[in-house]
Amino acid sequence: SPEGRGAMSSLDRILPFLRPIEDLLRDPTITEVMVNCGGRRVFVERSGAVELVPERALEVRNLTVAIKNIARACGDEISEAQPALDARLEDGSRVAAMFPPCSVDGPTLTVRKFTHRYTLQELVDTGTLTNDLANLLTDAVRRRRNVLISGGTGTGKTTLLNALASTIPAEDRIVLIEETSEILIDKPNLVRFEARRSQAPLGQEAPLPAVTIADLLRATLRHRPDRILVGEVRGLEAFDLLQALNTGHQGALSTIHANSAEQALARLAHCVLTANTGLPHHSTREAIALAIHLVVHVERVGRHRRVTDVARVAGYDVAADRIRTEPIVGPALTGTEGGVS
pLDDT in tens, 153-163: 889 999 999 99
**Contacts of residue 113, Cβ cutoff 8 Å, sequence gap at least 6:** 7, 11, 25, 30, 31, 32, 33, 93
The mean pLDDT value for 202-213 works out to 80
Query: pLDDT confidence of 329, banded at 50, 70, 90?
Result: low
User: Is 90 exceeded by the pLDDT of residue 301?
Assistant: no
Query: pLDDT confidence of 203, banded at 50, 70, 90?
Result: low
Query: pLDDT confidence of 123, banded at 50, 70, 90?
Result: very high
Quick check: 307 and 298 in contact, CB under 8 A?
yes
Helix H or strand E encompassing 332:
none
- What is the structure's pLDDT at 202? 62
- What is the structure's pLDDT at 3? 37
Quick check: 299 and 333 in contact, CB under 8 A?
no
pTM for the whole structure: 0.81
The mean pLDDT value for 97-118 works out to 92
Query: pLDDT confidence of 174, banded at 50, 70, 90?
Result: very high
Distance CA 306, CA 232 (A): 19
User: Is 60 exceeded by the pLDDT of residue 21?
Assistant: yes
User: Is 60 exceeded by the pLDDT of residue 179?
Assistant: yes
User: Is 90 exceeded by the pLDDT of residue 187?
Assistant: yes
Distance CA 303, CA 310 (A): 21
Q: Which residue has the higher pLDDT, 116 or 170?
A: 170
